[in-house]
Amino acid sequence: MGSQQNKDSFYAYVAGFLDGDGCIAIRFEKSKTCRLGFRARVRISFTQHKQKREVLDYLCKTIGSGVVSEYQHNNMAEYTIYDQVIIEQLLNGLEPYLIVKADHLSFAKKLIVLKRTGYSSDSLKEMHNLFKEIRSLNNYPKTILLDPVTTDNKGTRYSGT
């Protein structure tokens, strides 16, 4: 990336992209290799219409990790990073610039610190709690602006109102 100014500009750009079209998530999944049967990992992803895939390819090349996938069913492309070392470096660089996803970043960093202490039944419970916390930030009801039948403009899609 070059100079510190270039790095700062890059992190600011990526933070804006992540705030708008990205996701910081924790995956809590079964694992045959972890003695407690589960593991937790941070995942970062960015989505764009596949016509703008070159932006995702640029990020992938510049960051040096991850994979860009296209989904034909919705004409979208997604850049996903799984490498935990790269993710930690990226989160540290993005931290001063994130606004919308600042809480997501905080939970992800807590998980990374917790994983350093090793897996125990207590730490696994705390990891699962972090997973649920960040999931609740990522899953929010979409607001209906206008009901096409009644032209009522209140309620959410999932609340039944």
Q: What is the pLDDT of residues 47-73, one digit of tens each?
A: 999 999 999 999 999 999 999 999 989
pLDDT of residue 5: 78
Q: What is the pLDDT of residue 4?
A: 80
Residue with tokens 């970043």: 105
Predicted pLDDT of residue 149 = 57
Judged against a pLDDT cut of 60, whether residue 88 lies above it is answered with yes
Residue 41's SS3 state is strand
Model confidence pLDDT, tens digit, residues 72-84: 899 999 999 999 9
Instruction: Name the average pLDDT for the chain.
Output: 88
Closest among 33, 41, 49, 69 to 131, alpha carbons compared: 41
Q: Provide the pLDDT for residue 161.
A: 44
Reported confidence tier of residue 159, pLDDT bands at 50, 70, 90? very low
Helix (H, G, I), strand (E, B) or coil at 22: strand
Q: How far is Cα 72 from Cα 56, in angstroms, rounded to an integer?
A: 16
Enumerate the domain spans of the chain.
4-138
Percent of the chain with pLDDT strictly greater than 90: 70
| DSSP secondary structure string for all residues of 148-160 | TTT----SBTTT-
Per-residue tokens: 127: 């990891």
**pLDDT per residue as tens digits for the range 5-26:** 799 999 999 999 999 999 999 9
Q: Which CATH number fits domain 4-138: 3.50.50.60, 3.10.28.10, 3.40.50.720, 3.40.50.300?
A: 3.10.28.10
pLDDT beyond 90 at 43: yes
